[in-house]
Amino acid sequence: MGKTLRLDRILGNMGYGTRKELKKIVRAGLVKVDGEVVNKSSIHVNPYVSIIEINGERVNYREYIYLMMNKPPNVISATYDNVHRTVLDLLDEKYLVFNPFPMGRLDIDTEGLLIITNDGKMAHEVLSPKNHIPKTYCAHIEGKVTDEDVEEFKKGIVLDDGYKTLSSELNILESGDISKVELTIYEGKFHQVKRMFKALDKEVLYLKRIAMGSLKLDESLKPGEYRELTKLEIMTIKEKEES
Ligand code: URA
């Protein structure tokens, strides 16, 4: 909270223009700091303490954004793709100025909880393999899922590349021609859930992430919808990062 920043950097970070453009805007007398018109875009201001207005509009400065998306199928969790739409294509311009990126990946056909942020330090620490953040998925599996499968998941499953997964918790919700399960894993190998079932000769038909650590997907979000995380939810993820 004690940090001062150049005024043009503050406004630039919020998407109000380039340094050159902001110099002109300030010179034109369109920017006020604490009620006074300023004439230099290079002055230092504490954006969390001072009231900054541009063209009469109050600037609510922040450095980081944290969004929760219910990722829909057929979009890629990446910042750029030359074939498919990415999750960033679903965001409003007002968030894109922060240069956000998806925290981790879900496959193109996987749905559900995806955090989108520009807080690189947090993302790096949360995604660090040593953190073992639990990730819970709801999955539909072709054929019956049995108590023996539950035991296998608990013991750890040897994947196609020889890697043995950590113990995971499989809960059978419905077993039948198409079974419904919930699975919690503590790591995030490439296509992990699909490969775990494949190792037991089973196919995942549908996959949706419903929780990461204690952060649960807000079920009121329809596929493709997103919202900002609450302060409490941000703290929940950061706590995990520190533990
Ligand atoms: N496991 C998978 O197989 N796919 C995902 O998208 C996430 C976990």
Per-residue pLDDT of the chain (243 residues; tens, 9 = 90+): 668 999 999 999 888 999 999 999 999 999 999 999 999 999 999 999 999 999 999 998 998 999 999 999 999 999 999 999 999 999 998 899 899 999 999 999 999 999 999 999 999 988 888 889 999 999 999 999 999 999 999 999 999 999 999 999 999 999 999 999 999 999 999 999 999 999 999 999 999 999 999 999 999 999 999 999 999 999 888 775 554
Catalytic residue among 8, 107, 147, 177: 107
User: The domain containing residue 165 runs over which residues?
Assistant: 134-212
Active site residue 107: yes
Domain stops at, among 41, 58, 75: 58
Which CATH number does the domain housing residue 11 bear?
Answer: 3.10.290.10
Same domain, 41 and 148: no
Same domain, 139 and 175: yes
Burial class of residue 239 (count of CB atoms within 10 Å of its CB; 0-12, 13-18, 19+): exposed
Q: What is the DSSP letter of 165?
A: P
Ligand 1 atom nearest residue 106's Cα: 6
Same domain, 45 and 160: no
Domain count of the fold of the chain: 3
Residue nearest to atom 2 of ligand 1 (CA): 191
Q: Give the global pTM.
A: 0.88
| CB proximity list for 205: less than 8 A, separation 6 or greater | 139, 140, 141, 142, 178
Ligand 1 atom nearest residue 105's Cα: 6
